[in-house]
Structure 1
Amino acid sequence: MKKLDVIDYKLLDILQKNSHITNQKLSKQVGLAPSSCLQRVRRLEESGYISGYHARVNLNEVCRFVTCIADVKLKSHSQQEMKAFIDMVDSIPEIVEYYTVNGVCDYILKIITRDMARYLAINDQLIGSSEYAATINTHVVLNENKSFTAVDLDTLR
């Protein structure tokens, strides 16, 4: 699938907001027969436009936790050291997202832990057992004011 049309964008928009929608309801919302709608969704999945379906768990209802945003500045920017740092970050399950960025830091990490003691252990792992991380600045999230749910695709076209 090379180019998306208006119906494809509408399918993507609806599915990212409600991946639990039935094919019957989805087909009505986009104005297609159910079989055509299902074919399009499968084509979007196979072409990589849809990379998965997820349930958003309300952690506030499930458990106590701490969310931290950490910016990391590495001592060196050699490919070998950056790869070693990324491998370490990938091995820590509490690091749920991270980005390579430009500016005053090299990486921004989102870390969700059971408590601050566990965060401190992760912090020690990132800087204490590694010669790669030079500095880590941590921001403890007090309140999630707006969480990611979907991208308004119309604003990106």
Structure 2
Amino acid sequence: MSSLDELDRRILQQLQINNALSNHDLAKLVHASAPTCLRRVARLVKEGYIEKQVAILSADKLGAGLTAIVEITLDHQATEHQLAFETLVRSESAVQQCYRVSPGPDFVLIIQVADMASYHALAHRLFASHANVRNVRSFFSIHRSKFETQINLASLSGPHS
């Protein structure tokens, strides 16, 4: 994997702001030729710097307005038990993010559902009926004051930057 130079960083920054830019428009914004920009973006995708290109939808407008942040503690924390739990939550589309964490609970999940009844059904499917789940602690968002997807590229340093 190659390191990022200043042009790579400018490309990544612009794509974080607006991934729908045409290659021509992106090239203009980062002060590069269109062919150079196209090659760079392809390399950034191939090398895994760009993991996924998506549209971020409005959960409220689509009727999925309940966000739950859920802490999960397992009875048994051996690797095979953690992997089994991750496989279980990966199959559930309402679970948007799953993190192994330390210290504290074993996992933190970000869940997006329509309403409390939907959350209750999901919690029963994933947590209550799962023998290895010891504790579930749920928090429900009443207001989202910030939501960002951008990584601050200027603050990063290290072998991949």
1:1-157, aligned counterparts within 5 Å? 1-157=1-157
1:31 and 1:79 mapped to 2: Cα distance? 47
Over 3 Å counting, the alpha-carbon distance change for 1:2 and 1:64 in structure 2 is closer
CA RMSD across the alignment = 1.4
1:126: Cα distance to partner? 2.7
2:130 and 2:59 mapped to 1: Cα distance? 31
Gap runs ≥5 in structure 2: none
1:77 and 1:64 mapped to 2: Cα distance? 32
1:156: Cα distance to partner? 1.7
The 8 Å contact of residues 27 and 34 in structure 1, kept in 2 or not, is answered as yes
1:24 and 1:96 mapped to 2: Cα distance? 33
1:14 and 1:147 mapped to 2: Cα distance? 18
State TM-score, norm by structure 1. 0.93
Gap runs ≥5 in structure 1: none
Q: Which stretch of the first structure deviates more once superposed, 40-49 or 100-109?
A: 40-49
1:126 and 1:64 mapped to 2: Cα distance? 19
Encode CA deviations 1:73-129: one digit per residue, 9 max, x unaligned.
Answer: 111112222222112111211111110000110100011111111211221223321
Encode CA deviations 1:118-156: one digit per residue, 9 max, x unaligned.
Answer: 211221223321111100000001111100231111012
2:22 and 2:77 mapped to 1: Cα distance? 48
